[in-house]
Structure 1
Amino acid sequence: MTGIAFGPSYQPASTKGKPSKLHKRKHQIGSLLFDMKQKQMELQERRSRGLLTKSQTQAKYGW
């Protein structure tokens, strides 16, 4: 977008940002996608810690 129609300082509203309270309350798919992306790294870290603990237990008891 060049900004010719609205002027050089025109900033379009981004719809890909944080969902509004209404979107969260209505469980809209965009809101759920935003939440999923927020929690994805946390879940991966939790899984890796679980695998590490499992391998430590196997090493400790020789399974």
Structure 2
Amino acid sequence: MGKCVTELSERVGITMANLSILKNGKAKAVRFATLEAICKTLDCQPGDVLEYKVDEDTQ
């Protein structure tokens, strides 16, 4: 993943594996505390890192 992702993982306080799950859109949920930590670290808003996609498996 790279140095930047490793640093983000450390700053946010989640494992590289969990960060990878979030990054690849495989997460079924995200804790508000984790989202807050990501936004604080990246100086962004939740809408900058989240995207809504229709789950075709449930339709």
User: TM tier, shorter chain?
Assistant: under 0.3
> What TM-score, normalized by structure 1, do the two folds share?
0.25
Asked which structure has the greater RCO (Cα within 8 Å, sep 6+), the reply is 2
Larger radius of gyration: 1
Q: TM-score, normalised by structure 2?
A: 0.26
